[in-house]
Structure 1
Amino acid sequence: MYQKPKWNREGVNWPNRDSSRFIQVGNQKWHLQTIGQGPPLLMLHGTGSSCHSWAGIVPLLAAHYTLIMPDLPGHGFTQTPPEIGQSLPGMAGLLRDLLSALDIKPEIVIGHSAGAAIAAEMTLAGYIHPHAIIAINGAFQPFKGLAALLFPVAAHVLGLNPITIYAVAEGAKDRRRIERLMRSTGSVIPDDMLARYRDLFTAPGHVAGLLGMMANWNLAPLVKNMANLKTPLYLLSGSKDAAVTPASAQALCQTVPNARFINLPELGHLAHEENPHAVAAAVLAVLAPAKT
């Protein structure tokens, strides 16, 4: 097994550390944070990230909701499951088990990037029954053409090669590489957030978890089923997102009856890290009618 980030080392400066806990559910050990008061709101981060991604937006939402923020399987400080648990249905099932163990039924789900796809998968499977799903630059569409064939194959090959995983982790020690990676998404994020990504990507276990997710990710069945989603879906889309274009979110509105497109001007893929106040304002605006 590859070494995961260590809580007493990489986790020392983790945002909202005092709200963290570890919980064992079956064979899966989770790291999650719970903050705030009010109706339960589940927050699912994107590929390669962790619950630290929500640090900026947490204080803006915690006065209105109880925020439940797990590290996804294989990410951050959460254990990497067997291969079946790294797929979209597998992660949805593991999160169902976690929520059941916590006795939490989220009224709202916010998902960033791949986290939004997991939220939709869980809802369509009947694992959760939220009043709304808010997707921040939601990654609902699979890669097209040759990339659709090569991307998971490449991730699988890289994941099987310990030398590659350790090389990625070693390379992440160079701050400039992390900066280039984040900026390639169309976002410029604060230095403290860059430091947390560096902590994650220098841990071979996190890199292996990321590659395992990429290798086992298949969005095609979800895409076919999205038209059956009855839950209101709010698609918050950064106009400068270089990873998930606004055009893909607008196209989804044509097939999902209850989907609504909301533009986030001048923001990239990591919009909620880049400008938490703007994203929180958009979130609270769409949720305000549900609370009245």
Structure 2
Amino acid sequence: MDFARIPPDWPGRANMRRISARPHQWCVLEQGAGPVVLLLHGAGGASHSFRALLPLLAPHYRLIAPDLPGQGFTRAGARQRLGLDAMAEDLARLCAEQGWPVAAIIGHSAGAAVALRMAEIMAAPPRAVVGINAALGAFEGVAGFLFPLLAKVMALNPLVPRLFARLWGNEARVQSLLASTGSTLDAAGVAHYLALVRDPDHVEGTLGMMAQWKLDGLMARLPQLALPVLLIAGARDRAVPPQVSRDAVARMPGARYAELPGLGHLMHEEAADQTAALILPFLAAHTRADQRP
């Protein structure tokens, strides 16, 4: 794998590899042993967002965290395949070609929507899905107006990603953007997002995802999703308010809801121990964590 674009101190760098699976060149982080759990980050993130959660889950599970197409360090091979359905199809193909028996999927924000869509289409679907501040509705706050606006502009002007990276690629603006989600990250966490915002390719992939994002079909089918689902929300989330998860749980027969006080949209980075304390019992109940594949 070409590590030229990956900072030397990037979380999980030693456990990353590149996988070619049509149509993308995936960057995948793998750690741990046990039943396979797929980790899907949200829009604008990368596998690094699970850096604090990985060591808490890895003693029990084989964790596989790909960067989504066009984001992080995954190279998008087809820029028209950055929406929900296409992304889920391409991830399902990646899992099938690699022979990963996915027992569960954990998705953050938009990654939770991708996880639920994968559960619908995979030949061997996961036994459970966990959503962390699941983006199963419209984004609010800064993300609510900034991302869709830039995504539409980008469709008309391909220079927008470079302009965005230049204008927003400073620590003060990234801190402001992160604070608007209701979360507070340490200096290292801010630095990782700053590195992503300064990367025009990552910005282009993120805006492309937002431009192609359509939830209507998935939302209409939520009552048909009978697999066990746990949606965890941070009470201070200002990007995807907790009510979004509550409403989604009410529509899924096998879903349950949990809420953590004092945490925002990036709660798995703020308080990984509290997040893991909810996830681990749920996974153990549905993935037979005592057995090793």
Q: State the TM-score, normalizing by the size of structure 1.
A: 0.92
User: CA–CA distance in 2 between the matches of 1:268 and 1:31?
Assistant: 27
Is 1:205 matched with 2:205?
Answer: no
Q: Which moved more, 1:83-92 or 1:58-67?
A: 83-92
| Residue 80 of structure 2, aligned match among 80, 84, 88 | 84
Per the TM alignment, residue 230 of structure 1 is displaced from its structure 2 partner at its CA by 1.0
Is 1:167 matched with 2:155?
Answer: no
Partner of 1:137: 133
Per the TM alignment, residue 149 of structure 1 is displaced from its structure 2 partner at its CA by 11
Is 1:15 matched with 2:11?
Answer: yes
Residues 141 and 272 (structure 1 numbering): CA distance in 2 closer, same or farther, change over 3 Å?
A: same
User: CA–CA distance in 2 between the matches of 1:27 and 1:250?
Assistant: 35
Partner of 1:192: 188
For the 8 Å contact 1:159–1:208, the answer to whether it is kept is no
Is 1:32 matched with 2:55?
Answer: no
Q: Deviations over 1:127-178 (max 9, x none)?
A: 441111000000112469xx99997465132244233221211123310001
Q: For residue 21 of structure 1, what is the amino acid of its counterpart?
A: R
Per the TM alignment, residue 219 of structure 1 is displaced from its structure 2 partner at its CA by 0.4
Per the TM alignment, residue 65 of structure 1 is displaced from its structure 2 partner at its CA by 0.1
Alignment of 1:39-78 (within 5 A): 39-78=35-74
User: CA–CA distance in 1 between the matches of 2:124 and 2:110?
Assistant: 17
User: CA–CA distance in 1 between the matches of 2:153 and 2:205?
Assistant: 13
Per the TM alignment, residue 193 of structure 1 is displaced from its structure 2 partner at its CA by 1.4
Q: For residue 75 of structure 1, what is the amino acid of its counterpart?
A: Q
The number of residue pairs the alignment matches comes to 285
User: CA–CA distance in 1 between the matches of 2:122 and 2:169?
Assistant: 42
Moved over 4 A (4+): 147-154
Partner of 1:237: 233
| Residue 271 of structure 1, aligned match among 267, 270, 287 | 267
For the 8 Å contact 2:5–2:73, the answer to whether it is kept is no
For the 8 Å contact 1:142–1:220, the answer to whether it is kept is no
User: CA–CA distance in 2 between the matches of 1:143 and 1:186?
Assistant: 13
Partner of 1:101: 97
User: CA–CA distance in 1 between the matches of 2:87 and 2:231?
Assistant: 22
Instruction: Give the match's secondary structure for 2:80.
Output: helix
Instruction: Give the match's secondary structure for 2:159.
Output: helix
Is 1:280 matched with 2:280?
Answer: no
User: CA–CA distance in 2 between the matches of 1:91 and 1:9?
Assistant: 22
User: CA–CA distance in 1 between the matches of 2:124 and 2:254?
Assistant: 17
Q: Deviations over 1:94-127 (max 9, x none)?
A: 1011111211021011000000000100111234
User: CA–CA distance in 2 between the matches of 1:182 and 1:143?
Assistant: 14
Partner of 1:114: 110
For the 8 Å contact 1:152–1:216, the answer to whether it is kept is no
Partner of 1:123: 119
Partner of 1:218: 214
For the 8 Å contact 1:106–1:130, the answer to whether it is kept is yes
Residues 248 and 68 (structure 1 numbering): CA distance in 2 closer, same or farther, change over 3 Å?
A: same
Residues 19 and 154 (structure 1 numbering): CA distance in 2 closer, same or farther, change over 3 Å?
A: closer
For the 8 Å contact 1:132–1:233, the answer to whether it is kept is yes
User: CA–CA distance in 1 between the matches of 2:135 and 2:8?
Assistant: 31
User: CA–CA distance in 1 between the matches of 2:124 and 2:183?
Assistant: 31
Per the TM alignment, residue 63 of structure 1 is displaced from its structure 2 partner at its CA by 0.1
Which runs of 5 or more structure 2 residues have no equivalent in the other structure? Answer: none
Q: Which moved more, 1:41-50 or 1:17-26?
A: 17-26
User: CA–CA distance in 1 between the matches of 2:173 and 2:149?
Assistant: 24
CA-based RMSD = 2.1
User: CA–CA distance in 1 between the matches of 2:50 and 2:261?
Assistant: 19
Q: For residue 4 of structure 2, what is the amino acid of its counterpart?
A: N
Q: Deviations over 1:45-69 (max 9, x none)?
A: 0000000110011000000000000
